[in-house]
Structure 1
Amino acid sequence: MSTKDYIEKDYYKVLGVSKDASPDDIKKAYRKLARANHPDANPNNPEAERRFKDVSEAHDVLSSPAKRKEYDEARRLFGAGGFRFPGAGGRTGQPGTGSVDDLFRQATQAGDGFGDLFGGLFGGANRTRTSATGRGPRRGSDIEGEATIDFTASVNGTTVPMQMVSEAACPTCQGTGAKAGTVPHVCPKCEGSGMQTSTSGGVFAVTEPCTECRGRGMVVDDPCPTCGGSGRGRSTRTMQVRIPAGVTDGQRIRLKGKGGAGENGGAAGDLYVIVHVRPHPVFGRKGDNLTLTAPVTFTEAALGASIDVPTLDGPSVRLKIPAGTPNGRTFRVRGKGVARRDGTPGDLLVSVEVVVPDQLTDEAKQALDAYAAAAGTSNPRLGLFANARSGSA
């Protein structure tokens, strides 16, 4: 049901009752019309189905004191025969008469500000009231915590204990906010709705939490000495939090329903855990792959070799290094990485690092001199100077 329908539809006329009809008159009219136009009694009758929907819609609004009050206020403000709006149908700045379509067209062009006002008048108040009233259920607050885990735990998943401090129902008054032996009473200002409506300039209505009961809908005359009448108290509890496998450093995990307790039967809030991962002395991570740097000797890189490299939490694997492997070359070991969302594992990326000895024996120096003479290798930096002069690769 749109806001335009809310203004233009005459629900009293739909039910065939007067504007000052009592709740019992409205109920009787609805039952009579609902039975007469029910789809079961009128199969394959689109007109009866439409009337049944209109009757149900009218009853939904007029049977609720709060909705009926807002509906009557909307009809009073905007009326069925037009409304007064600055600049409509006349010179700029002069009052004029326009249609409801004109109002909504201008409201749409005006942007979000008008939308907020209309939402608070016709629909937003009802939505806010459900959570703000003290008599209705209220969702618990969200809680945020932090957990620091080891690198291996981040890959495999783990369970960590966390001490949470949140608001819960006061244990002394059981959330009523009233001293033992007393009970809160309905707020006389908002009549228990938790909301109050005020008009600005006699045109737009703004709905906000009641200043008397602060949105609870109930007033406490003799407050509970433990919570001071708020009905809430601080609760400390330790819970085991499951950190899923594959979590990354800085990732924010949402645990639904593990936050603050709800009020008056409301759902619990959520727990958000920011995970910090300690670095590993050997392994790194790149997406779903683990990374590792393996030192090799010059002889192994030049002649080729088979070397053993570790895995994160399993036996080592043998990696074949082909002859002539340059420094920094990366090899892939399949299936030794981080588990993906679909359950398949990532890979282990091993980069070789050629280690140059800082001390050589005389025999080793002679052997290298003999190698240099036998290899007769040209200067590898000739191309470097040539490209530096030409500016091209």
Structure 2
Amino acid sequence: MTEIDYYELLEVDRGADASTIKSAYRKLAMKYHPDKNGGCKDNEAKFKAVNEAYDCLKDPQKRAAYDRFGHAAFQNGGGGGSAHDFAGFSDIFESVFGEFMGGGRGGRAQPRRGADLRYDMEITLEEAFHGKSADITIDVTASCDSCHGTGARPGTHAHTCSTCAGHGKVRAQQGFFVVERACPMCNGSGQVIEDPCRDCRGDGRVERTKTLTVNIPAGVDEGTRVRMSGEGEAGPRGAPPGDLYIFLHVKRHAIFEREGTTLFARAPISFTTAALGGTLAIPGLDGRTHELKIPAGIQSGKQLRHRGAGMPVLQGRGHGDLVIQIDVETPTRLSTRQRELLEMFRETETGDECPEAQGFFARLRNAFAGD
């Protein structure tokens, strides 16, 4: 399952302040609003995704939970505002701020979720264009097969900690304040293992190397994050696992540069082609050759656009554009015949052939006419 990072959706940095996030949201909401896109389903989906991202990041508590847990922070709810959704979020809020505020609600110790993992993958621009499936190998702590993650030797089980009565926390009175901390006997788990598993030594986890298949969708960009749910570190003693996040890095291409879904390239042409016009054939990342018409009299720096030949839209339909910047190349090696022909051409010049040059020298003369 691929989930686009909320910060990427709003096109802001993770450290962006509230005003920056709000400004980015307003810009994108206006761009993708259904009323302005003629009922386009892709833009409607993008509009909903942008609203979902802003709804999370504008709320300091939700943002704090998202920064720590990612999309997993809201897996048990969908923003509908039900009591179940609120309870799920309050559990996450407590796990973020509970220790600072002096502990939780006094219930039994909850199993700690396994840590999330990060994997950096480098891909080519062609692979970003078409998408790909790749196998990766990672070293990770996985649930112990011998004890099924319990930490206790097969045939035995853990007992409720007598010190904290299974709560995982103990309290101490200090003046007017009650300080709550993890139970020193069970290390906050609420359970005591008297006969630990020999393979995992009571932790319920073992080190393991595993191979995973990562599906990279077409249209990904530098820094796109692909989430693999439940493929992170196993939680201690049967707790839920974390997630694995694949961060993508796109190699520099020899010809094309990218900005969003637009591909840019520079193409040198001869001065005769620039003067007379012609056709430019550019091989695209899609495997096809795209022809661009060069108008007569084109100047260096002029850009030609071929619509629909750029990068695919991530999780959408259509492609961006291919933009070619023209560089007119002056010949440096001429044959005798070529030089003769150019001399003949120069003899027939009136100045009207190059109006910009003619205008420049006219302004130059006028500027110094009074000296």
Backbone CA RMSD of aligned residues = 2.9
> Structure 1 residues 303, 126: CA separation in 2 closer, same or farther (over 3 Å shift)?
farther
Matched residue type, 1:120: G
Per-residue deviation, 1:349: 0.8
Matches within 5 A, 1:254-333: 254-262=227-235, 266-333=239-306
Matched residue type, 1:353: D
Per-residue deviation, 1:219: 1.6
Quote the sequence identity (%). Answer: 36
> Structure 1 residues 177, 321: CA separation in 2 closer, same or farther (over 3 Å shift)?
same
Matched residue type, 1:215: G
Matches within 5 A, 1:161-180: 161-180=135-154
In 1, are the aligned partners of 2:143 and 2:206 still within 8 Å (CA)? yes
Distance in 1 (alpha carbons) for counterparts of 2:317 and 2:179: 52
Distance in 2 (alpha carbons) for counterparts of 1:235 and 1:162: 14
Can you list the C-alpha shifts for 1:208-256, whole angstroms capped at 9, x where unaligned? Answer: 2212111111122333332222221112210101112211123333233
User: Equivalent residue for 2:167?
Assistant: 193
User: Equivalent residue for 1:141?
Assistant: 115
Per-residue deviation, 1:346: 0.7
Matched residue type, 2:295: P
Once the two structures are overlaid, the 10-residue window that deviates more, 255-264 or 288-297, is: 255-264
Per-residue deviation, 1:382: 8.4
Distance in 1 (alpha carbons) for counterparts of 2:99 and 2:282: 67
Per-residue deviation, 1:321: 0.7
User: Equivalent residue for 1:120?
Assistant: 102
Per-residue deviation, 1:371: 2.1
Matched residue type, 1:259: G
User: Equivalent residue for 1:3?
Assistant: none
Distance in 1 (alpha carbons) for counterparts of 2:297 and 2:118: 53
> Structure 1 residues 169, 265: CA separation in 2 closer, same or farther (over 3 Å shift)?
closer
Distance in 2 (alpha carbons) for counterparts of 1:152 and 1:173: 46
In 1, are the aligned partners of 2:262 and 2:323 still within 8 Å (CA)? yes
Can you list the C-alpha shifts for 1:313-361, whole angstroms capped at 9, x where unaligned? Answer: 2321221111110112111101111122431211111111212222111
Matched residue type, 1:227: C
Matches within 5 A, 1:1-393: 119-120=101-102, 124-126=104-106, 129-132=108-111, 138-200=112-174, 202-262=175-235, 266-340=239-313, 341-377=315-351, 380=357, 383=360
Once the two structures are overlaid, the 10-residue window that deviates more, 335-344 or 178-187, is: 178-187
- TM-score w.r.t. the length of structure 2 is 0.64
5+ residue gaps, structure 2, are 1-96
Question: What is the count of residue pairs matched by the alignment?
Answer: 266
Distance in 2 (alpha carbons) for counterparts of 1:267 and 1:229: 17
Tell me, what secondary structure is at the counterpart of 1:375? coil
Per-residue deviation, 1:173: 2.7
> Structure 1 residues 245, 375: CA separation in 2 closer, same or farther (over 3 Å shift)?
same
In 2, are the aligned partners of 1:294 and 1:309 still within 8 Å (CA)? no
Tell me, what secondary structure is at the counterpart of 1:213? coil
Q: Of the two structures, which has the highest relative contact order with CA contacts closer than 8 Å and spacing of 6 or more?
A: 2
